[in-house]
Homo-oligomer: A and B are copies of this chain.
Amino acid sequence: MDLYEALYTTRAMRRVRPDPVPEDVVRSMLDAAIRAPSGGNSQNWRFVVVTAAETRQRLGELYRDAFAILKETVYKDLWERARRTGDEAALRVQRSSEWLAEHAAEVPMWLLVFSRNDPTGASIYPAVWSAMLAARGHGVGTCLTTILGHFKSAEVFELLDVPSDRGWVLNAAVSVGYPLGRWGIARRRPVQEVTYQDRWGRPVPWTVDEPLYRPD
């Protein structure tokens, strides 16, 4: 797969089929992940591939509970506003997020990502994103979620037997599966509105009016 196709079309793919993710895809995701840079090449990461049905069942319950907390706190105002104003893009995200929370246990694979000594996340999220891009190359969808780490970290540590005294932090739970939906280029605020030249607020001397990559 072309690099730019992957960079432009790896959207959050929350709705996935229950079919298992082939071992070759899992290996490819993880071998890509560990090629990512980390501060001082520390590679202070661990990955747990969750496919066992009973573990996914419990993880799914935790995910659903974490999502309920998210809806009542961080996203409360945001989502109410979207409903009020009829912001269709935001409502689509809401609906697919609800779908994932309802079906979390049926997602065939979750990739749980842990790191330590990385308070900013600079040394772990490139690896996470590489795993997601590698999956995309095999036609496999992913969604990067952080709510288990935010709201159910202790429960996940217990479920997966993660040692609690060695500094590990749960950075991400990535859902993985063959997509029900279609790949496509996500709409974004245009790049010239979020990019400055040499100092804050000074416009860049160029624009990007259409995504620079377009699928055939």
Q: Does A57 contact B (CB under 8 A)?
A: no
Choose the segment among A60-68, A100-108, A125-133 that binds chain B (4+ C-beta atoms closer than 8 Å): A125-133
Q: Does A139 contact B (CB under 8 A)?
A: no
Residues of B within 8 A of A31 (CB): 191, 208, 211-213
Q: How far is the CA of A135 from the CA of B196 in the complex (A)?
A: 18
Contact indicator A137/B194 (Cβ below 8 Å): no
Point out the residue from B30, B188, B191, B196 that lies within 8 Å of A191, measured CB to CB: B30
Residues of B within 8 A of A3 (CB): 1-3, 5-6, 133-134, 136-137
How many residues of chain A are within 8 Å of chain B by beta carbon? 87
Please, which residue of chain B has its CB at the minimum distance from the CB of A75?
Answer: B40
Indicate how many identical chains form the complex.
2
Q: How far is the CA of A124 from the CA of B129 in the complex (A)?
A: 11
Q: Does A180 contact B (CB under 8 A)?
A: no
Q: Does A154 contact B (CB under 8 A)?
A: no
Contact indicator A46/B194 (Cβ below 8 Å): yes
Contact indicator A48/B196 (Cβ below 8 Å): yes
The distance from the CB of A184 to the nearest CB of chain B, in whole angstroms, is 11
Q: How far is the CA of A109 from the CA of B63 in the complex (A)?
A: 42
Residues of B within 8 A of A176 (CB): none
The distance from the CB of A127 to the nearest CB of chain B, in whole angstroms, is 9
Please, which residue of chain B has its CB at the minimum distance from the CB of A32?
Answer: B7
Residues of B within 8 A of A5 (CB): 3
Q: Does A15 contact B (CB under 8 A)?
A: no
Q: Which of A89-112 contact B (CB under 8 A)?
A: 89-90, 93
Q: Which of A135-168 contact B (CB under 8 A)?
A: 136-137, 143-144, 146, 149-150, 159-163
Q: How far is the CA of A5 from the CA of B3 in the complex (A)?
A: 8
Q: How far is the CA of A138 from the CA of B174 in the complex (A)?
A: 29
